[in-house]
Structure 1
Amino acid sequence: MAIADCMFLELPRFVDRRGDLVVVEGDSHVPFDIERVYYLCDIPQGAVRGGHGHKQLRQLLIAVSGSFDAILDDGFERKRVTLSSPSRGLLICPMIWRELENFSLGSVCLVLASMKFDENDYYRDYNEFCAAAREASL
């Protein structure tokens, strides 16, 4: 996979005077069944999250509150994107190293994942990730 395979997905947002409603349905609004949901919150100023890649897992990241930056890396190219809308999610494909930083005060990052937690699916060493990404591109 390449950074170009990662993209923003617009989620249905229903605007109402009482407040907005954003809907996310697996295999409808995201291109996978949702097997795991978690969120990052109360992130200290200057903290960096992520710092890993996945072999098979696909994720949709949503800034449900506040904003943060995602740095995406496919072993050949790096790209920084900002998430700041609860109705716009970032689809992250397998074989993409990700780092999350620059969290605004009170931000919440919701993560929808295609698989349950599996430590064997992780690349936690950047050099090992890059070697695997380059080998897969041959």
Structure 2
Amino acid sequence: MKKTTVYDCSIIELDKHHHVKGNITVVENGKTVPFQVRRSYYLYDVPGGESRGGHAHKDLKQLIIAASGSFDVTLDDGKIKRTFKLNRPYQGLLVVPGIWRELDDFSSGSVCLVLASMKYEENDYIRDYNEFLKLKFDE
């Protein structure tokens, strides 16, 4: 697994264009996103008090965007935790491989858009926190 820390993750400002008829944000492979997007998905209608995530990835990079509403993303590298409140559709949180993530505190009507560097591959997921710690520090 990649030897990354929560400090390798950061907020990325996306292109934002103002117009009297509404704003537009543009996302382009390799330009506004620092990887090639191979898959995109979104979370919505998350019931109050529920959380999502609860896993890490061995190789996958993600850009997590609050397309609507707000939610918190807590990143954990096994030593340090950082929490980001996402609430602007023109910002994305870059999450690198080897970082545990939890998403919670979803506002009503929020939409979490995720742009991913790989297609779905179950073998890339680490779903047990103790296994994550073992992989992170025993290599």
TM-score (norm 2): 0.96
Partner Cα separation in structure 2 for residue 25 and residue 39 of structure 1 = 17
Structure 1 equivalent of residue 35 of structure 2: 32
Runs of 4+ in structure 1 deviating by more than 6 angstroms, as ranges, are none
Partner Cα separation in structure 2 for residue 89 and residue 14 of structure 1 = 16
Structure 1 equivalent of residue 63 of structure 2: 60
- Of 75, 96, 99, the residue aligned with 2:102 is 99
Structure 1 equivalent of residue 54 of structure 2: 51
Deviations 1:21-42 (A, max 9, x none): 0000111101100000000001
Any idea what SS the aligned residue of 1:120 has? helix
Any idea what SS the aligned residue of 2:53 has? strand
Deviation of 1:135 after TM superposition, in Å, equals 2.5
How many residues were matched structurally?
Answer: 136
The reply on whether 1:13 has 2:16 as its aligned counterpart is: yes
Partner Cα separation in structure 2 for residue 23 and residue 122 of structure 1 = 29
Structure 1 equivalent of residue 134 of structure 2: 131
Percent identical pairs in the alignment equals 53
Partner Cα separation in structure 2 for residue 29 and residue 94 of structure 1 = 19
Structure 2 equivalent of residue 111 of structure 1: 114
Q: Which runs of 5+ in 2 are unaligned?
A: none
Structure 2 equivalent of residue 70 of structure 1: 73
CA-atom RMSD in angstroms:
0.6
TM-score (norm 1): 0.97
- Of 83, 88, 91, the residue aligned with 1:88 is 91
Q: Which runs of 5+ in 1 are unaligned?
A: none
Deviation of 1:79 after TM superposition, in Å, equals 1.1
